[in-house]
Structures are given as C-alpha cells and as structure tokens.
Structure 1
Amino acid sequence: MDILFISDQRASHISDADALNLKDNGFLWLDATLAEVTADVPAWRAAVERITGTELHDLHVSDAINIRHPSYFDSTRDYEMVVFRKLALAQEADAEAVRHAEPGAEARRKIPPALTRLATQPVTFLVMDRALVTVHGEPGRTIAQARKRLLDYEFKAGASHASRPPASPRELMLRLLNAMVDQYLELRQPLTTQIDRWQRALLNPRRPFNDWTALLDARIELRKLDLLCEEQHDALQELRDHFVDTWHASENGHAKDVLLVRINDVMEHVARVLNHARRLEASIESAVQIHFSAMAHRTSEIMRTLTVLTALFMPLTLITGIFGMNFIEMPLLKHHDGFWIIMGMMAATVAVALLIFRRKRFLEDRNADS
C-alpha cells in the first residue's frame, strides 16, 4: 500500500510510522490494489484503521474488494464511500473477459475493437477528514498518472489554481473521478466511427450485410454503457446531496463552492457520455429500420417488375395458345402473311399495354424523376 502525504506545497511518499506521527497540515492518500488487499484483507483493514483512526464497516470492506460491484455511494458518521466503475486497460479487459466468459463465448461474440474498450472495473474511495483511501485494480493508469503529477509538483508562488495539489481528500477524489470520466469521453469518436461504418454497410445495395452478430453485441454493449452511466450519475448525485446536507455554515464557503463546481463538472461529463450512448443506440436502431425499409422497397420494385412482365406476356400467351389449337380451318392459318400479321398484333398488344401501364404509373418514369 502506497502512502502519500499531500499539502498545499508538496506531495511525498511516507511510511506507516511517519503517517502515525504526522503533525503537518495536509492529508494522507492511502492507495492499494485489489491484489494487495485480497492477499490479506484483515491486515490491510488494520493498517488503514491504525493510520487514519477510523474503523471500517465489514460490508464496506466487502464492497471494496468486490470486482463486480456497481457504482455506488454510502456514508457513515466517520467517512464516505464511493464506488465508481472506470474503464479498464486493454490487458485488464482481456483478463476480465477470459475470467468471466462462458464456454464458447469467444466464437459467438464478435465485438469490434471500439466496443471492447468498454470493459470496466470498480475503484473504491473511502473519504475521511484527513485521509483518502483508494482500492483499484492493476495497474490503475489514471491513479498512477495522478500520483506522478503530485510527486512531480514543485511549489511556485503565484501558480495557477489548477496546477496546485488538492486541498482536501474530497477534492482529490473528484479530480480522480473527473479523469476517469474523461476516458469515457475519449471513446465517443471511435464509437461514432464504428456506428457510421455499420450504417453505410447496412444501406449498401450492392453488398448484403452479414455482420448481424457484431451489431447485436454492439447494441448490448451500448445498453451496458447506458446503465453504467446511470449508476455513476446516481452515485454522484447522492454524493453531492450528502455533501450539501452535511456542510456547516461555519466552514469555508470558497472551498465548498470549489467542490460543488467539481462535482457538477463530473456529473455533467457523465451525462454527456450517457446522452452519447443513447444517441448511438438510437442510430443503430434507425439504421436497422432503414435497412429493412430499403430491403422491402427493393423487394417491392422486383415484384412490380415481375408483375409487369407477367401482364405483358399474358395476352401473348393467349394469342399463341389460340393459334396452337388443333383445328383444321383457322383464320390466317394458311395465309401467306399470316405469321407477320400475328407478330404485328402481338407487338401492338405489347405497345398498348406499355402505354396503359405508363399512364397509370405502373412503371417508374426515370426521365420525369430526373
């Protein structure tokens, strides 16, 4: 477990003993991976309680090591708990898929690369007065980058507000949440490109669309993203309500405003991801409906052409049938020009039928459309 001490001027690694004897103004960040925690849960819990002086509830400890836990918020008198599902890295997503996949699932599911990046894992935040405890999967790129920025920070007088270290455990948690949500926003372009590619394939009249399994899997993944964003938004809304309800009038009003702005910003980013997922899902459904409408239109055109051809050949068949009867005496049968007269009658019949069909708009008038 990594322990960082964060003040307004510096951030540094410290040991357990230094954390217990710390007197400076600032707060602690206790960061651990799921592998470290699950290796010895009682030891990790005892270390957190010894350093922070806060007793953790049994159910919250169980939630912190639950890899399938949804986004969630809960609070006690001593601390607040936020579980937030972030995007997993490629290697984590592959390991998670192999670990939980059903037999033969690889052959059935054909999710495109843009959608395989929707694999998620939970990150647990335990927010106390002077400490933030995080539990996450390996390797935790977002948290690693945040830790590196804090350790590389050098205090400069007059530096911008955005570059300074966080002033409280709550602010640090919100910065991490904002970075995690931004990863979802980065998926919008590849997802939109993939959906556009499918839309063009669905409406291509020269090549039949056969990738229905991938399209169905994509719709399932977008539904999961929709539900995931709803859970995230609900958890953040409960966090915001708890924050507003428990803030005392005697506390720093500016700090309250900063935290409210950060919470609202994270919630707005989650709402944008949610709206984009719903638009993509609606785009898939619209493309499928247009595809089947185009297929029905093509079938209708084919049937109309076949019907016209049948209607044109019916009188010709009637004429050939009459003159194919086995009567000895028939008009024009022995006439010198009988064959050409019958052929002329048949041609005239076809011409009259075509004229009638054109006037009744049974045939498409391409010249008129152009």
Structure 2
Amino acid sequence: MQSYYFYLHPEAQHIFVQKQKLQDAEPEFIWLDCTREDVVNRPEQWQQEVFNTAQLWLNEYHLRDILNLDHPCAFDTLDDYDLLIFRKLITPDDEIKLDSSAVEKHERMFGLATTPISFILTPQLLITVREQGNKDIERYLQRIETVLTRSIDEHHKPRKLPSTPLDLSLRLLNTMVDGYLDLRVPLTKRVEYWQQELLQGHRRFTKWHQLLQENMAFQQVENLCEEQIETMQELRDEIVDNYSHLKGKKRSEKQDIMLVRVDDLSSHIERIQKHTTRLRGAVQAAIDLHFSAVANQTNENMRILAIITAIFAPLTLLTGIYGMNFEFIPGLKSPTGFWIMLAIMCMTTLLLLYYFYRRHLVGRGERSVIDMLAQQQGDQHMNLLWFMDYEPIKATVKGTKKTLKEIEKLTTRP
C-alpha cells in the first residue's frame, strides 16, 4: 500500500504532494493506492491500517465486493463514503496476472478479459484497490513520483495536481478510458481480416468458431461500455444531488467542472461503444455477403446442371425409344438408321444450344433482372390507363365531373 498526501501551498495556493505526512500542515486529502494482494491476504489488518490512516471503517459487504473478481461496474453511496467499482479492459500493455482459471474462462467465453478497480471516496480520502500490473494506474504513479523529485513550488508544472479525491478519481478513469481508444485500430484490422476471409472465393470458409468468438468479444465490449455508462450516470447523479458530500465543506471547487469531466468521460465510452457496434455490423454484413455469394454460386451450379439436363433429356428419350425390346421398329434393319438417328440427336442438341444462347442462358452471360423485366413489359403491351375501364372508377370520375360543373355554375352566377 502506497500513501500520498496532497497539501495546499500556503503562499502560491496550488496543490503539492508528499509521501510522508507533514507535522505542521493538514493535508487536503490522502490517496491510498492498494493492490489486491494487500487486501485479499490480510483483510482485517488492511482494514485496521485504513482506519489508522483516515479513521474510516469499510462495510463488510463492500469489502466482499472489492475482493470479487467478477463484480460488475457499480456505484454505491453511504454516509461515510462512496464506492465506485469500474471494470477495466485488460490491454496488451497491462501485465496483470489474474487467476489462470478466471482468465481461461473469460478468454473461452468472450475472447477478452477485464479486471475490476475499486474507488473508495470521501472528501478527505481516496482508496484505490487494483491488480498488480495495471499500467494505467502505474503510469500515473510514475508521474507522481516524477513530481516528487521537484521542489514544492514546481509541483503544479506542467500540469496541476488534483485538488480533491473526486478529481483524482476522474483523472484515473479518464486515463483508463483513453486507453480503450487505442484499441480501435487493432479491432478494425481484425474486422478487415474477417471480411477478407469471408469474401474470398478460392476456398471454403471454415473458421466459424473463431469468428463466433470474435463476435462475442465485440458483444462483451458493448456490454462493458453499457455498464460503465450506467455507473458514470449514477456518479453524475450523486454529484448533482449531493456534491457537498463528495468535495467537503472547505472546498470551493465548482460543481460544473466535475459534471463536465464526467460527461466527457461518458462521451468517450459512448464513442467506443458506437465504434464497436459499427464493427459488429461490418462483420455481420460480411457474413451476409458470404452466404449470398454461396447461394449465388449454388444457383449458378444448379443452372448449369439444369441446362445439361435439358440438353440430354431429348437424347435420353430417343435412345430410350429405340432401346425398347420390340421385334419390329422402323429403321431397325436399315444400314443408315444409326447415322440418321445420330444426326437427329446432333440437330436436337444444336437447336437447344441455340435456344439457350438466344435466351442468354449460355454463351453470352445471364440477362440482368432489369432487362428481363423490360422484356416482360414489352411483351405484355400494358395499357397504362387500363384501370379507367373499371366501372366504380368510371362512376367516380363522372360524379367528379358533375360536381365540378355545379361549382363552376355557382362561381359564375352574377
């Protein structure tokens, strides 16, 4: 567990940070950064350390929620503190080592793994409980360590330090959500890969199991974003309804600034959710095109088989007739009967091929649907005013003409 004490500079009126508590100053707030190993191995001792540092005793059920690896995103508030559980998507940069069975379960079911991060908020205290190897939190800790190497007067350069636990929590959440935006490029490349695999025509597509896992991974990201948006909305409602409980009575930070940051955080999550939805739609469109191409190829194969069957059907009929076991068949004893029958069969084949050629079934490609409809329209010679011969319509037209004449008489009457 690491402790950071944030103080207000007495002269410059900016926030500076220290790792040890100063004897002659009261901290604005304290940040206790804990890993899950600090809590799960000795929960009672950890509770006592938190109480000794900030005079805060956590609820037993909240402690169980913090230790639950599968707990969804949630926000709960009590009189003493607020609890925010935010599930973070494990990115390739993270070095989080979860339980192997849990990781295997997530990867088998969804293809992606997430980890919860707990924020315990009071006006004077922020407690974070995370996994070891969370790069987003560790990068922010490195920034704090870099600030500690400077003098107190330069702690607010180049960027100001957070002034409240809520401000620090939103900054940490924003760092994690911004990391999701970097996943858009690899996710888009994965979708392009599946589009190429689905729309290739030189071999049959057989990777349906992997594609199903990819689709479930996109669904998991959407569900995760939905949970995060709902949690951020609950936090926003708490800021609107009870902001003094979060910032403390001595603080003068404006409520609108916190609301803008929460809205900005929610908008980032919504961008990720919409992007993932578009990618899922692209994969589904590629699947539909794949099945359409397969159906079109099947129809083409059936068309060719139907043409071959139509060509050989008359030939099969002729051979069947002259293959019957009758004693007297015309031309059976003729020395030229075979050649005459062969010529008739060839003529029949040529005539059928010519007919199919004229109908655009072989040789010149299929006729388009528009051309076929145009041909049917030309063959029917439809009269566009045929419906005027319908008796009820005739009566309606006559009644309309009569009404128009009566109106004309009334308007022209002096």
TM-score (ref. length: structure 2):
0.77
1:98 aligns with 2:98: no
The residue correspondences of 1:186-265 to structure 2 (distance < 5 A) are 186-247=182-243, 255-265=254-264
The residue correspondences of 1:1-370 to structure 2 (distance < 5 A) are 1-7=1-7, 8-14=14-20, 18=21, 23-88=25-90, 95-99=98-102, 101=104, 109=108, 116=111, 118-153=112-147, 154=150, 155-156=153-154, 159=157, 163-247=159-243, 255-326=254-325, 330-333=329-332, 337-363=336-362, 365-366=364-365
Deviation, structure 1 residue 59: 1.4
After superposition, the Cα gap between the structure-2 partners of 1:185 and 1:158, relative to the gap in structure 1 and judged at 3 Å, is closer
After superposition, the Cα gap between the structure-2 partners of 1:284 and 1:251, relative to the gap in structure 1 and judged at 3 Å, is farther
* Distance across 2 between alignment mates of 1:22 and 1:335: 130
The C-alpha deviation readout for 1:346-370, integer Å capped at 9, x for no partner, is 222122222333444544743867x
* Distance across 2 between alignment mates of 1:45 and 1:281: 44
C-alpha RMSD over aligned residues: 3.0
Contact 2:88/2:115, CA 8 A, preserved across alignment: yes
Q: Secondary structure at the match of 2:30?
A: strand
Contact 1:93/1:120, CA 8 A, preserved across alignment: no
Q: Secondary structure at the match of 2:18?
A: strand
Bigger mean CA offset, 248-257 vs 281-290: 248-257
Contact 2:16/2:161, CA 8 A, preserved across alignment: yes
The C-alpha deviation readout for 1:118-163, integer Å capped at 9, x for no partner, is 3111000011112110000112211111011122135549956xx2
After superposition, the Cα gap between the structure-2 partners of 1:80 and 1:143, relative to the gap in structure 1 and judged at 3 Å, is same
Contact 1:87/1:183, CA 8 A, preserved across alignment: no
* Distance across 1 between alignment mates of 2:294 and 2:52: 69
Which one-letter code corresponds to 1:49 in the other structure? F
**Percent identity at matched positions?**
34
Q: Secondary structure at the match of 2:254?
A: helix
Contact 1:72/1:235, CA 8 A, preserved across alignment: yes
* Distance across 2 between alignment mates of 1:310 and 1:99: 59
* Distance across 1 between alignment mates of 2:160 and 2:170: 14
Gaps of 5+ in 1: none
Deviation, structure 1 residue 23: 2.4
* Distance across 1 between alignment mates of 2:239 and 2:57: 21
Which one-letter code corresponds to 2:4 in the other structure? L
Contact 1:236/1:267, CA 8 A, preserved across alignment: yes
* Distance across 2 between alignment mates of 1:367 and 1:292: 21
Deviation, structure 1 residue 253: 7.2
Contact 1:4/1:13, CA 8 A, preserved across alignment: yes
Contact 1:2/1:30, CA 8 A, preserved across alignment: yes
After superposition, the Cα gap between the structure-2 partners of 1:157 and 1:199, relative to the gap in structure 1 and judged at 3 Å, is closer
| Number of residues of Structure 1 aligned to a counterpart in Structure 2 | 354
Gaps of 5+ in 2: 8-13, 369-414
Which one-letter code corresponds to 1:4 in the other structure? Y
Deviation, structure 1 residue 92: 5.5
